[in-house]
Amino acid sequence: MKCQLLQVLEKYYNKIMKKGISILEILIVILILSFLFSPTIFIILKYHQSSILKSTVEEITSTLGLARSLAINERKVVKVIFKGNKFFIEKDGKVYQKVYKFPENIKIKEMTDGFKPVVFLPDGRAKQAGYIVIFEENSKKEMKIVLYNLTGRCIAE
């Protein structure tokens, strides 16, 4: 029984190997696969764009949290300054760590006075409450970051 099955498989294998596959058959398979996977590519690109907006908002909120922690720990006034497509922490009149840059299609749509600049006091409070709206140009999506002055905390909406 086992030998007969091996013989049938070997015969079938030899038949396929002798015939081969034409270039036309390969092109047809590639064409069919491209039609099947093309919607997936658009879904992945759309997800990637929305994840860029979310990661930018998370980076801003974590930077604001870091600035608040610095103000509390060092008992000094610390600022977060937004200039064009960049933002950074200013401590003692100098840039702290690095300057962050927004990704290519991410812009500031709206910003209140509380974000011009964000000033954290030594007790962790923000000098002024406010919000900033971050906008992604391709998908037309936006997210809002709200800063509360009594606690100095910020929340992304």
**Mind listing the pLDDT tens digit for each residue in 3-12?**
676 677 677 6
Q: Where are the domains of the chain?
A: 23-156
**Mind listing the pLDDT tens digit for each residue in 103-156?**
988 999 999 998 999 999 999 999 999 999 999 988 889 999 999 999 999 999
Give the chain's length: 157
Instruction: Give the ranges where the chain is alpha helix by DSSP (H).
Output: 2-19, 23-74
Q: What is the pTM of this model?
A: 0.72
CATH number, domain 23-156: 3.55.40.10
Place of tokens 């997210």: 143
Q: Apex CA 31: angle with CA 28 and CA 33, to 5°? A: 110
Burial class of residue 150 (count of CB atoms within 10 Å of its CB; 0-12, 13-18, 19+): exposed
Q: What are phi and psi of 133, to 5 degrees?
A: -110, 125
Beta carbons within 10 angstroms of residue 87's beta carbon: 22
